[in-house]
Amino acid sequence: VYSTPSSLRLSFFSFPTYTILRSHWTGAVRVRVRVLAHPSSMEEITDGVNAINLAGESHKKNRIQVSNTKKPLFFYVNLAKRYMQQHNEVELSALGMAIATVVTIAEILKNNGLAVEKKIMTSTVDIKDDSRGRPIQKAKIEILLGKTENFDELMAAAAEERDAVDVEEQS
Protein backbone atom coordinates (compact mmCIF):
# COMPACT_ATOMS: atom_id res chain seq x y z
CA VAL A 1 0.00 0.00 0.00
CA TYR A 2 1.42 3.32 -1.05
CA SER A 3 1.08 6.14 1.43
CA THR A 4 1.55 9.78 0.57
CA PRO A 5 3.40 11.72 3.25
CA SER A 6 1.13 14.22 4.96
CA SER A 7 3.48 17.09 4.08
CA LEU A 8 2.92 16.39 0.38
CA ARG A 9 -0.82 16.17 0.82
CA LEU A 10 -0.86 19.46 2.68
CA SER A 11 1.34 21.19 0.13
CA PHE A 12 -0.92 20.00 -2.69
CA PHE A 13 -3.97 21.47 -1.01
CA SER A 14 -2.17 24.68 -0.12
CA PHE A 15 -1.96 25.64 -3.78
CA PRO A 16 -4.85 27.77 -4.98
CA THR A 17 -7.73 26.42 -7.01
CA TYR A 18 -9.13 28.65 -9.71
CA THR A 19 -12.62 28.25 -11.06
CA ILE A 20 -13.07 29.43 -14.59
CA LEU A 21 -16.57 29.98 -15.87
CA ARG A 22 -17.00 29.92 -19.64
CA SER A 23 -20.46 31.30 -20.38
CA HIS A 24 -22.32 30.68 -23.61
CA TRP A 25 -25.93 31.43 -24.39
CA THR A 26 -26.60 27.72 -23.95
CA GLY A 27 -25.41 27.71 -20.36
CA ALA A 28 -22.09 27.67 -18.62
CA VAL A 29 -19.17 25.30 -18.46
CA ARG A 30 -17.22 25.32 -15.23
CA VAL A 31 -13.62 24.20 -15.23
CA ARG A 32 -11.66 23.79 -12.00
CA VAL A 33 -7.93 24.18 -12.28
CA ARG A 34 -5.51 23.37 -9.48
CA VAL A 35 -2.17 25.08 -9.84
CA LEU A 36 0.58 22.66 -8.81
CA ALA A 37 3.35 25.24 -8.90
CA HIS A 38 3.03 28.84 -7.84
CA PRO A 39 2.68 30.91 -10.99
CA SER A 40 4.90 33.95 -11.26
CA SER A 41 2.05 36.04 -12.58
CA MET A 42 -1.67 36.03 -13.17
CA GLU A 43 -0.83 36.10 -16.88
CA GLU A 44 0.57 32.55 -16.65
CA ILE A 45 -2.71 31.38 -15.15
CA THR A 46 -4.67 33.10 -17.92
CA ASP A 47 -2.44 31.58 -20.61
CA GLY A 48 -2.90 28.13 -19.09
CA VAL A 49 -6.66 28.49 -18.95
CA ASN A 50 -6.84 29.74 -22.53
CA ALA A 51 -4.87 26.67 -23.60
CA ILE A 52 -7.59 24.39 -22.26
CA ASN A 53 -9.63 23.16 -25.19
CA LEU A 54 -13.15 22.50 -24.05
CA ALA A 55 -14.70 19.53 -25.81
CA GLY A 56 -16.53 20.42 -28.98
CA GLU A 57 -15.39 24.03 -29.23
CA SER A 58 -12.92 23.43 -32.02
CA HIS A 59 -15.42 22.32 -34.69
CA LYS A 60 -18.09 24.95 -34.07
CA LYS A 61 -16.93 27.37 -36.78
CA ASN A 62 -19.94 26.31 -38.82
CA ARG A 63 -22.53 26.70 -36.03
CA ILE A 64 -25.36 29.23 -36.22
CA GLN A 65 -27.14 30.03 -32.97
CA VAL A 66 -30.57 31.16 -34.09
CA SER A 67 -32.72 33.71 -32.29
CA ASN A 68 -36.30 34.40 -33.31
CA THR A 69 -36.07 38.04 -32.20
CA LYS A 70 -32.63 39.33 -33.27
CA LYS A 71 -32.48 38.73 -37.03
CA PRO A 72 -35.02 37.99 -39.78
CA LEU A 73 -35.55 34.43 -40.99
CA PHE A 74 -33.82 34.85 -44.35
CA PHE A 75 -30.72 36.32 -42.73
CA TYR A 76 -30.20 32.87 -41.17
CA VAL A 77 -31.13 31.06 -44.41
CA ASN A 78 -28.51 33.02 -46.38
CA LEU A 79 -25.93 32.63 -43.61
CA ALA A 80 -26.51 28.86 -43.60
CA LYS A 81 -25.97 28.79 -47.39
CA ARG A 82 -22.68 30.66 -46.98
CA TYR A 83 -21.54 28.32 -44.20
CA MET A 84 -22.37 25.29 -46.35
CA GLN A 85 -20.31 26.76 -49.21
CA GLN A 86 -17.34 27.21 -46.86
CA HIS A 87 -17.56 24.12 -44.64
CA ASN A 88 -19.82 21.68 -46.60
CA GLU A 89 -22.15 21.52 -43.59
CA VAL A 90 -23.81 23.80 -41.07
CA GLU A 91 -25.15 23.23 -37.57
CA LEU A 92 -28.28 25.19 -36.66
CA SER A 93 -28.89 25.53 -32.94
CA ALA A 94 -31.68 27.16 -30.92
CA LEU A 95 -33.31 27.31 -27.51
CA GLY A 96 -36.97 27.55 -26.53
CA MET A 97 -39.19 29.59 -28.83
CA ALA A 98 -36.48 29.83 -31.51
CA ILE A 99 -36.73 26.07 -32.19
CA ALA A 100 -39.57 26.67 -34.67
CA THR A 101 -37.36 29.14 -36.54
CA VAL A 102 -34.52 26.58 -36.83
CA VAL A 103 -36.91 23.94 -38.15
CA THR A 104 -38.26 26.44 -40.69
CA ILE A 105 -34.74 27.34 -41.86
CA ALA A 106 -33.87 23.66 -42.27
CA GLU A 107 -37.08 23.00 -44.21
CA ILE A 108 -36.47 25.95 -46.55
CA LEU A 109 -32.97 24.70 -47.34
CA LYS A 110 -34.20 21.11 -47.82
CA ASN A 111 -37.19 22.07 -49.99
CA ASN A 112 -34.95 24.18 -52.24
CA GLY A 113 -32.71 21.14 -52.75
CA LEU A 114 -29.71 22.74 -51.04
CA ALA A 115 -29.39 20.64 -47.88
CA VAL A 116 -29.89 17.19 -46.43
CA GLU A 117 -30.34 16.39 -42.76
CA LYS A 118 -27.37 14.62 -41.24
CA LYS A 119 -28.31 14.71 -37.58
CA ILE A 120 -31.01 16.12 -35.31
CA MET A 121 -30.37 16.34 -31.58
CA THR A 122 -32.75 17.53 -28.89
CA SER A 123 -32.00 18.16 -25.24
CA THR A 124 -32.83 20.36 -22.31
CA VAL A 125 -30.39 22.81 -20.79
CA ASP A 126 -30.39 24.58 -17.45
CA ILE A 127 -30.37 28.35 -17.83
CA LYS A 128 -29.77 30.46 -14.75
CA ASP A 129 -32.72 32.77 -14.17
CA ASP A 130 -31.48 35.81 -12.24
CA SER A 131 -34.98 36.94 -11.28
CA ARG A 132 -35.91 33.60 -9.67
CA GLY A 133 -32.46 32.67 -8.44
CA ARG A 134 -32.76 29.08 -9.62
CA PRO A 135 -32.09 27.45 -12.97
CA ILE A 136 -34.91 26.89 -15.44
CA GLN A 137 -34.93 24.21 -18.12
CA LYS A 138 -35.19 25.14 -21.77
CA ALA A 139 -35.57 22.89 -24.76
CA LYS A 140 -32.66 22.89 -27.20
CA ILE A 141 -32.39 21.62 -30.76
CA GLU A 142 -29.33 21.15 -32.96
CA ILE A 143 -29.77 20.28 -36.63
CA LEU A 144 -26.74 19.34 -38.71
CA LEU A 145 -27.28 19.94 -42.42
CA GLY A 146 -24.98 18.92 -45.25
CA LYS A 147 -24.74 20.02 -48.86
CA THR A 148 -26.66 18.12 -51.50
CA GLU A 149 -24.78 16.81 -54.53
CA ASN A 150 -26.17 19.59 -56.73
CA PHE A 151 -25.72 22.39 -54.14
CA ASP A 152 -23.02 24.17 -56.15
CA GLU A 153 -25.04 24.06 -59.39
CA LEU A 154 -28.14 25.43 -57.66
CA MET A 155 -26.13 28.25 -56.06
CA ALA A 156 -24.50 29.10 -59.41
CA ALA A 157 -27.91 29.18 -61.12
CA ALA A 158 -29.27 31.49 -58.40
CA ALA A 159 -26.26 33.80 -58.83
CA GLU A 160 -26.78 33.93 -62.62
CA GLU A 161 -30.46 34.72 -62.08
CA ARG A 162 -29.55 37.58 -59.71
CA ASP A 163 -27.03 38.93 -62.23
CA ALA A 164 -29.64 38.83 -65.02
CA VAL A 165 -32.11 40.77 -62.85
CA ASP A 166 -29.40 43.35 -62.01
CA VAL A 167 -28.58 43.87 -65.72
CA GLU A 168 -32.29 44.18 -66.52
CA GLU A 169 -32.78 46.82 -63.79
CA GLN A 170 -29.82 48.88 -65.05
CA SER A 171 -31.18 49.09 -68.62
Domain 60-170 coded CATH 3.30.110.20: yes
* pLDDT tens, residue by residue, 9-55: 444 444 455 544 444 444 445 545 455 555 555 666 566 655 554 44
* pTM score over 0.85: no
Closest CA to 110 of 75, 143, 158: 143
DSSP state of 66: -
The helix/strand count (H/E) of the chain reads as 5, 6
* pLDDT tens, residue by residue, 112-137: 999 999 999 999 999 888 788 888 99
**Segments making up each domain of the chain, as ranges:** 6-51, 60-170
Q: How far apart are CA 49 and CA 44, in angstroms?
A: 9
pLDDT averaged over the chain? 78
